[in-house]
Amino acid sequence: MKLSVKCNVEAYLKGLIFGAVMSMNAGVMAMDSNEDFPIVQSSFQASKYERVLMTQLRDQKSPTEKFREAANRLTELLVHRVIECLPTFPVNIETPIEPFQGERLVGNVEFVSIMRSGDALLDTFSKHFPDSVINKILVQRNEETAEPEFKYMKLSPTIAKCNTVVITEPMIATGGTLIMVIGLLKEKGVAEENIIVASVLAAPEGLIVLNQLFPRIKVVVTAIDEKLNDKKFIVPGLGDFGNRYFGT
């Protein structure tokens, strides 16, 4: 990718993020435990099965195979929630018995996997959308500053015309990585209202910033935790999703 694009994104972040981050702590401190995030599409109340699977993910004693098993099952449920956000149109069909009016999904869906943790969700999503285009973006977190650093991007030429772009990102902490990725997508012509973020776990701080900067996106998340700690890790959290899923 050309350097100018990277520079544009960095300027975009500096221009947009500063005010949101400066007000974020005050917003979180004033937030009621039942605060509603307008961009979040699914209920905070997870099902009993989701709570059992989340416990398996959180448990530091869960080996890689158990963590991966729980993550894959949670992703199946996440797929269903994302599909609830997709537009449909009525269609008349014939059953073996009589005519029936059903519905089909409108247009096409493309995926953007934030490497590498986003790849953990991608396999399950692609099974439900076998003809979908898969795009890749690599943004790595600087462990000293907790800031995102852009590394790589490969997007399809059709992504700007797509009805729905689903970003797979298992964890939303500060929201910095997603802010950079959404900024990149918008530069490429993707409409904000066509973006859905699919995530397993989020911190309120990240959702507040995303809501301030991109109020027209949709976020589908299984669980929202208490807060970020001083090192910008989600509390109580589940550790590093990618490391635990892939075992490296």
For 176, the domain range is 3-28+41-89+104-246
In a domain, 94, yes or no: no
User: pLDDT tens string for the chain (248 positions)?
Assistant: 443 444 454 554 444 444 444 334 333 333 333 355 778 885 556 789 999 999 999 999 999 999 999 999 999 999 999 999 999 999 999 999 999 999 999 889 999 999 988 999 999 999 999 999 999 999 887 777 767 888 899 999 999 999 999 999 999 999 999 999 999 999 999 999 999 999 999 999 999 999 999 999 999 999 999 999 998 899 999 999 999 999 98
**CATH code for the domain in which residue 195 is found:** 3.40.50.2020
DSSP state of 24: H
List the one residue out of 184, 193, 186, 134 whose CA is nearest residue 163. 193
Predicted model pTM? 0.83
Residue 190 forms part of a structural domain? yes
Question: Residue 48: helix, strand or coil by DSSP?
Answer: helix
Total structural domains in the chain? 1
User: Can you say how many angstroms the Cα of residue 162 is from the centroid of all Cα atoms in its chain?
Assistant: 17
> Is residue 16 in some structural domain?
yes
Helices within the chain (DSSP H only): 3-30, 48-58, 64-84, 117-128, 176-187, 204-213, 241-246
* Six-digit token string for 98: 């009589």
